[in-house]
Amino acid sequence: MKNEAIRYLVSFTVLLLVTLNLAVACAQPKPSPAPLPPKPSVTQPPATSENQSPKEAETPPANQAVDEEKWYLVETFSGAAGETTPIFHIYGTEWRITWTIDAEDPETAALDLFIHFHNESGSIWKTVTFTDGGNGDITYPVDPGGNRDFFIKVIVQNLRYWAITLEDNAPAAASSPVQITYIHYKGKVYPTDPKCCCYGYERVEPDEYVVIKNLSESPQEMGGWVLKNITKGYPSFTFPFDFVMGPGQIIRVYTNEIYPECGTWLEFGTDSKAPYCENPGKIWFSFNWGAGDIWSNEKPDVAVLYDAQGNEVSRKSYTVPIEMNETNSE
């Protein structure tokens, strides 16, 4: 009986100790969770990696061009013989010549370019020689305050074919739909006509002409517009104030031509509005120039068309072949 009581006492003591330990453990406070970081505001810039600065993070993808120079076509010339190119204008701060040579014997072939200033007594600005065939390019800076009109004398040696493309790093001014498209600079020379009491001299290249075209599908009012040879500074032709150029229409402005369709030359040349002849499909004007031609046969001149407010609308020059005796004149 005594042993039975001792077992009950030991069991009760063990149970009491276990109960007390559980009560102590439950009474201890639980640690509160760590606070979450605040959300970034909408104006906060994105974080950068350790190896990337904020400036580098803004760099565009590698396949996106950065500061790539854009070139605009000025003119393209090609041939097999030497020539003097038309005058061209540079609008930007740089221009580039891209060249191609096709030669039978590359070791003896050469393409020489003598780049001249226009309206500076033909002074040479740069010279460049391309040899060995093939192709390449060269870039020139331009003085912002200097002359921007040039022409090139092309001298060839043992070439089957050559081509040069001129490009500019700035676009030209917005163009008008009315453009000078062609200059026929070399006409005929007529001897003195003894039957004509009005013109006692030979008529030099009266059939020279400038072609002007309306490239749009709308009529263009051209009253008071002026066509001028700016190389010589004269002459200038003013269009009649009631003249409207139709869509797609082409006209010619001759030097001093006679048109059988318009009656006698005297009647044509003394029109009160302007020298003007209209036939089905043809509209022709004339400078009614005196003794001599307008467009030089030795070196290219420049024709410029101005609107009634004096704004330049279009300009055009032409190519003059170089004679064999000119190749050694530089």
Residues 88, 108: Cα–Cα separation, whole Å: 30
Provide, for the chain, the percentages of residues in helix, strand and coil under a 3-state DSSP scheme, each rounded to the nearest 5: 10, 35, 55
pLDDT at 26: 47
pLDDT at 146: 80
pLDDT at 265: 39
- Among the residue ranges 54-58, 61-65, 134-138, 297-301, the one predicted with the least confidence is 54-58
164 vs 3, more confident: 164
Band of the pLDDT at 45, cuts 50, 70, 90?
very low
pLDDT at 174: 59
- Among the residue ranges 17-31, 84-98, 272-286, the one predicted with the least confidence is 17-31
pLDDT at 162: 93
pLDDT above 70 (res 281)? no
pLDDT at 194: 58
pLDDT in tens, 74-106: 888 999 999 999 888 888 889 999 999 998 888
Provide the pairing of β-strand 83-84 with 149-157. antiparallel
Q: Which domains does the chain have, with CATH numbers?
A: 72-172 (2.60.120.380), 178-320 (2.60.40.1260)
The percentage of residues in the chain with a pLDDT greater than 90, rounded to a whole number, is 23
Residues 123, 249: Cα–Cα separation, whole Å: 39
Residues 21, 15: Cα–Cα separation, whole Å: 10
pLDDT at 8: 56
Query: DSSP characters for 226-237?
Result: EEEETTT---EE
Residues 67, 169: Cα–Cα separation, whole Å: 12
Band of the pLDDT at 152, cuts 50, 70, 90?
very high
Mean pLDDT of the region 17-31: 49
Number of Cβ within a 10 Å radius of residue 221: 14
Q: Where are the alpha helices (DSSP H) in the chain?
A: 2-27, 54-57, 265-269
145 vs 76, more confident: 76
Report phi then psi at 260, rounded to 5: -60, -30
134 vs 30, more confident: 134
- Among the residue ranges 52-56, 57-61, 264-268, 290-294, the one predicted with the least confidence is 52-56
314's tokens: 């279009």
pTM greater than the 0.75 cutoff: no
The Cα-based distances of 309 to 126, 211, 222, 274 in angstroms read 36, 22, 11, 19
Residues 30, 279: Cα–Cα separation, whole Å: 108
Mean of per-residue pLDDT scores for the chain: 74
- Across the beta sheet with 72-79, the strand order is 72-79, 161-168, 94-102, 134-141
Query: DSSP characters for 201-229?
Result: S-EESTT-EEEEEE-SSS-EE-TT-EEEE
- Please, what's the b/e burial string for 26-64 (b: 16 or more CB within 10 A of its CB; e: otherwise)? eeeeeeeeeeeeeeeeeeeeeeeeeeeeeeeeeeeeeee
Residues 283, 216: Cα–Cα separation, whole Å: 17
pLDDT at 85: 92
Band of the pLDDT at 228, cuts 50, 70, 90?
very high
DSSP H or E segment with residue 183: strand 178-184
Highest mean pLDDT among 61-70, 173-182, 311-320: 311-320
Band of the pLDDT at 3, cuts 50, 70, 90?
low
Number of Cβ within a 10 Å radius of residue 239: 24
Q: Are 81 and 321 in contact (CB under 8 A)?
A: yes
- Among the residue ranges 159-173, 211-225, 249-263, the one predicted with the least confidence is 249-263
